[in-house]
Amino acid sequence: MRDDEITDVAAYMADLGRQARAASRQLTRASTAEKNAALLKIAELLDAGRSQLAEANARDLQAGAAKGLDAALLDRLELTPGRIDAMIEGVLQIAALPDPVGAIFDLNARPSGIQVGRMRVPLGVVGIIYESRPNVTADAAALCLKSGNATMLRGGSEAYASNQAIASCIQRGLVEAGLPAEAVQVVATTDRAAVGAMIAMPESIDVIIPRGGKGLIERISRDARVPVIKHLDGICHVYIDADADPEKAFQVALNAKTQRYGTCNTMETLLVDAAVAETILPKLGAAYSEMGVELRGCPRTCDILAAALPATEEDWDTEYLAPILSIRVVAGLDEAMDHIAAHSSGHTESIVTESYTRARRFLREVDSSSVMVNASTRFADGFEYGLGAEIGISTDKFHARGPVGLEGLTSVKFIVLGDGEIRT
């Protein structure tokens, strides 16, 4: 169905939902070989469909330019040949990952005679709500397919034609591999009511994963009637302990801030133990300044670093996503962990120390999705962690936490193997 043919959005969404739910039962029983065959077909069809993808994308870009979208948005929207390559490569990589579904573990005998274990199973139907990057359509569909989930995808209206063109390759690939086309539903209306419907249909959608700006994610989390896997902010900290190796501290703190400025695992606040602030900060401050990083410090930091401007209270709660860094000198580990508890977004924190006891306390007590010792926060990433690919990073504690790969898209049920046992 095309956008202009959909008049009753609620009925249309309910239909898509019913189809997705039915398809998810077929996907649950699909073998690894069937799912991989579909992924390879999809990659093949994306490759064969390059000219159609480029045409559709050109229509989106033209419409976007006519609507006056800014350059950054138009850039995100563009499907260059290189981005199509990366999209195809991503699908092939997911085909090569191990299938998490059906794994049985912890199967133990009980005194009653039954054996009790756990089996990894798909979540069911995953709803993805995303903004302008059309490559998300293929990435998300492939991850969900491999983990045995049906998908309902709602992309940004500015990428409508591109998303539909990608969806057409995906659905043909599914059918050619003997799986239902309805396993990947791409919402074909740009009506915003579709989003409201998606986040409130627990009978058809088991979990929503929003990808996009903080405003979108906050709105969806507030209104959703189903669980949401999300992260809002990445306010990440590096704490340089009194017993830090100065060279490791320099390298980690520099890399965590400057390797890329716009990513969620970039450090936004550096905490330094007062005992080493005067030896650590001057060299580090000079290196930041040389790279054009603006420094905002506590009074003690400003005493040590002439280049630092005074930080305000707001700085400690800000994700700059820019060459700006706040720096605070603290009295020790407890004050550092208090600062983190008060200001972190629960994404990633790292301690630099040679102290076994303080490393152990930091690992245990800091309540973030990734907690590190002597490593750059920039490592918090599904590829770096060996998950193969990620659908997002969760800063929630419930269900999946940290980078979410195939396993995060599954659930675990109990299985019981008996021989006619009854309970007495």
Q: How far is the CB of 335 from its own copies (least distance, A)?
A: 14
CB 394 within 8 A of CB 229: yes
Whichever of 113 and 282 has its CB closer to its own copies, that residue is: 113
**Minimum distance, C-beta of residue 92 to its own copies, in the bound complex (Å):** 20
Q: Kindly give, in sequence order, each residue whose CB lies less than 8 Å from that of residue 390, ignoring residues fewer than 6 positions away.
A: 381, 382, 383, 403, 404, 405
Tell the smallest beta-carbon distance from residue 265 to its own copies (Å): 9
- Nearer residue to its own copies within complex by CB, 78 or 384: 384
- Closer to its own copies by CB, 166 or 198: give it: 198
Q: Which helix (H) or strand (E) holds 209?
A: strand 207-211
CA-wise closest residue to 151 among 166, 107, 419? 166
Within 10 Å of residue 121's Cβ, how many Cβ atoms? 19
Would you give the end-to-end CA distance of the chain in angstroms? 57
Residues that bind its own copies (CB under 8 A): 25, 28-29, 102, 108, 110, 112, 114, 116, 119, 121, 123-124, 206-207, 227, 245, 247-248, 251-252, 254-256, 259, 341, 350, 352, 361, 363-365, 367-376, 378-380, 384-386, 397-399, 401-403, 411-424
Cα gap 284→240, rounded to integer Å: 12
Smallest gap, in angstroms, from Cβ of residue 57 to its own copies? 31
With residue 165 as reference, give the H or E element that holds it: helix 160-176
Query: In the complex with its own copies, which residue's Cβ is closer, 59 or 399?
Result: 399
CA-to-CA dists, residue 282 to 88, 269, 331, angstroms: 47, 16, 18
| Residue with Cβ nearer its own copies (27 or 166) | 27
308 vs 400, which CB is nearer to its own copies? 400
Q: What is the rounded distance in angstroms from the CA atom of residue 341 to the CA atom of residue 330?
A: 14
* Residue bearing tokens 């059906």: 102
Tokens describing residue 215: 């405003």
Minimum gap (Å) between residue 390 Cβ and its own copies: 12
DSSP string across 46-70: HHHTHHHHHHHHHHHHHHHHHTT--
| CB of residue 380 to its own copies, shortest distance in Å | 7
Nearest-approach distance from CB 408 to its own copies, in angstroms: 11
Query: ∠ CA(363), CA(365), CA(371), 5° rounding?
Result: 35
CA-nearest of 235, 231, 308 to 269 is 235
Which helix (H) or strand (E) segment holds residue 240: the answer is: strand 236-240
Question: Which of 24, 163 has the CB closer to its own copies?
Answer: 24
Between 171 and 395, name the residue whose CB sits nearer to its own copies: 395
Residue 138's contacts (CB-CB under 8 Å, 6 or more residues apart) are: 42, 46, 87, 90, 91, 166, 170
Smallest distance, Å, CB 11 to its own copies? 21
Of residues 2 and 423, the one with the C-beta less far from its own copies: 423
